[in-house]
A and B are shown apart, each in its own frame.
Chain A
């Protein structure tokens, strides 16, 4: 008796071979998408002086880029559903390049908003989603490792982009740097070229539906083909969505505030910057390691618990931060924070894939990112607002603020699992059993 097909893809993913090239491409894409808005902040001072604007107006450039990258998620998903990952990523890479190259010739801050904010942001959105999606198409058994490795691209790229940006700026000024950055972003096209479509392109699955489309289908059903809104009926997906949205409120704030907090308690600029480097390096190692741990046969079936644990760990880390005294305390905090941050990021998409399955993942990731979009933008400014209000004991209580949503979320996740198991034990056990069986069957296949 042949065991049931473990995934809902309709085929068995290779779990290796060309998949590793895809992982490499994905890490490059993901790296650019996450780190570009952060690394771009180096240019702020110069741009502020050149255009004679306030810091807030310049900071909007990064915010618009971030908002577009996350907000254009559903559009990205629709395009991938229709055309597959490869054309979308290549087009995204071209957009990024064009955006930055045109930014080099900007004469007003508004033009910068459009070129860097919207065009490059949209290009990055077209990079991020397809990269994560295609991993689900190439891997099943080793998917957590693949995800961990792909997400490791982000800290690696941050460590390279930040000093590179500084070097470019010192030697070419901001216009020259934008021009060269445009060329560098074109490398996303190389990453895209590596995304060889597997099986037939997803569009071929829909040809029958296409003809029916012409026959005047219900508008909602038509939209559903491209973006699976039925996901909103999926309880696991809803919990993931709400949990994520809340988590992102406090997720990035610590990174934004770490250096200012260090300077606030009297540490010099370079040591404060070094804290972020420690964070990035630990993050870099933590992501693939988490992937490997998540892939082990003890953790894989319980990956959702592992994810909630890492979120709770994150929150505890921040709650304990005010206890950190002096520079060594902050170094220890940075190490743990890097570890926790890496763990959460490595499994961010893996858990979603695990929940909804690889076929519906395309739509799921689009819907999740647009929801995260708002909270990501609101997080640091809210933290900044709370800073003076909660400044008791002369401690930066923005750190305490950061911790609160995350502890909340961690507990939320943990609570979910208890409830989910209690309310619908059959369904959750079934998914776990299916996965185990699937893993077993693919292991047997490999054995032969």
Chain B
């Protein structure tokens, strides 16, 4: 059994001052990938144990769950989590002068996709990688989001290579990219308790795109080099003219 405890430290003024507007609310994220038994507890800090008039309820959505009073100031629930229907948010609500709640979010592991789009070119290949940190999924599936439609298309045909370097990592390699390959991709990891998605974006550019700045910079280099050399020839001529004039003056003096 794995136990998760949230200790509430209530704002004192909320109990003694009726003008207090809102109580404190605490949250905790719990990641589960396989079936397990867990215990969630809400505990009131010892300072406030003298406050007896507390009504404690455990709820999931609107449904109330029976809880156990473990000690004088902690209340807990125990559950078997066997499938995705048991996941979600569980809250314990303490009603005193004000209502304070603590929420546990039970969820499947998150998958890292990539925030920044992967940029590649037509005719080139691209690799998209998804990682599951810490938890090993049972299976990986890749989807491409088609244009404006939200329908996912599973990818297991030619031109796509799906590799798994290790159980936690999956690679999707697309050979010979075309414009149609541009868009959003999902990598979905299947766990015992549900599925989890990672988001990736692929941008396919034509070769003309980087060519424009490239040619602009090359042109700039050529222009600058020409200017430097022309200036040099010009200043050399000026020097020569000045020297010739000096000689001319000297000859005149004689």
Contact = CB atoms under 8 A, between A and B. Distances in A.
Contact of B119 (A52, A176, A187): A176
A193 interface: yes
Contact of B217 (A172, A184, A193, A194): A184
A49 B217 contact: no
A193 B224 contact: yes
A176 B210 contact: yes
B204 to A, nearest CB: 10
B209 A187 contact: no
A184 B224 CA distance: 13
A172 B221 contact: no
Interface stretch (B9-17, B33-41, B120-128, B132-140): B120-128
Interface stretch (B81-89, B148-156, B225-233): B225-233
Contacts of B229: 193
B213 interface: yes
Contacts of B116: 170
Contact of B225 (A50, A175, A184, A190): A190
Size bin of chain A's contact surface:
20 to 34
Contact of A172 (B127, B210, B228): B210
Given A50-B127, A180-B210, A193-B224, A175 B121 contact: yes
A176 B209 contact: yes
Contacts of A184: 217
Contact of A175 (B124, B129, B203): B124
For the complex, would chain A's binding face be called helix, strand, loop or mixed by DSSP majority? helix
A121 B203 CA distance: 31
Chain B CB within 10 Å — which of A52, A170, A193 has the most? A193
A193 B210 CA distance: 27
Contacts, number: 61
A180 B213 contact: yes
B221 A187 contact: yes
A171 B119 CA distance: 7
A177 B119 CA distance: 11
Interface in B81-137: 116, 118-121, 124, 127, 129
B122 to A, nearest CB: 11
Contacts of A196: 232
A183 interface: yes
A173 interface: yes
A182 interface: yes
Interface string A14-29: 0000000000000000
Nearest to A50: B127
Contacts of B129: 49
Contacts of B232: 196
A189 B121 CA distance: 29
A393 to B, nearest CB: 30
Interface string A142-181: 0000000000000000000000000001111101110110
Q: Which 6 A-B pairs have the closest CB atoms?
A: A173-B119, A176-B210, A183-B217, A193-B228, A190-B224, A186-B221
17 contacts: A49-B127, A49-B129, A50-B127, A52-B127, A172-B205, A172-B210, A173-B120, A176-B119, A176-B210, A179-B210, A180-B213, A183-B213, A186-B217, A189-B225, A190-B221, A193-B225, A193-B229
